[in-house]
Amino acid sequence: MTMSTCRNTQEVSAAPTPTVDRPAGKPRAQSRWRRLLGLWRDTEGATAVEFVFVAIPVIYLMVGILEFSAAMTVSNSLEAATNLSSRLGKTGFVDVAEGLDQSATIRAEIERRVGPLIDMNKLEIDAKAYADFGSVGASEPWNDTNDDGVPQTGEFTDTNGNNFCDGCTGFGGADNVVIYTITYPWTIMTPLMNRLLGEDGIFNLTAYSVVKNEPY
């Protein structure tokens, strides 16, 4: 009786343990999700990332403000130089000692004021003369046939009959009205801002001055 019981016990113990088939790769997929979830919950280094996202726009804005301030400084200096040089123009002053004509004298005065701030080779000086204030804006056609830069009778159409080429390039004569336009192409270096302001990264700084020449 005892031997039979032992034999049955051994037979039961020797019986193979049934196995349960599990989908291949499931534990590995769960492990990946746990890692991703851990990375999502991990806050280490978050401050550094947030600083980068905030610092870049702030630095960009500061650089843009500095460049805009520099452009405005040059613009104000250019306007002041235009007013001072136009005063020389209305008196008919010519720097004979330096061998300059009236145009070169005015240009030299502007360079003395703003030369260190800009490239004088890019500066454009335009002066248009009118007989009087009543003729301002009524520009007349002019064809400088002899290329001397001085309107001569027969080269322009005197539409208002005042025997003066209104709106023609030049510094005029005694009692004439002259409009000075000084333009400087300022190159915008800050990215994106050079697309928002100006054209092709160029912002034209322009200064005007209207004077009536003295009866010199």
Domain assignment present for 196: yes
Domain assignment present for 106: yes
> 162-183: per-residue pLDDT in tens?
889 999 988 988 999 999 999 9
What pLDDT is stored for residue 158 in this prediction?
A: 87
Domain assignment present for 78: yes
N-term to C-term CA, the chain: 149
Domain assignment present for 103: yes
List helix spans (H) across the chain.
Answer: 2-14, 26-41, 46-91, 102-114, 193-196
C-alpha to C-alpha distances, 201 to 66, 69, 76, 145, nearest whole angstrom: 16, 16, 20, 37
Domain assignment present for 79: yes
> 126-153: per-residue pLDDT in tens?
999 999 998 888 888 888 888 777 788 8
Domain assignment present for 202: yes
> pTM, whole model, 2 decimals?
0.68
The number of distinct structural domains making up the chain is: 1
Question: What's the whole-number mean pLDDT along residues 5-21?
Answer: 50
Percentage of the chain modeled with pLDDT above 70: 77
> 78-104: per-residue pLDDT in tens?
999 999 889 888 888 887 777 788 888
Domain assignment present for 186: yes
Instruction: Give me the domain span that covers residue 105.
Output: 67-212
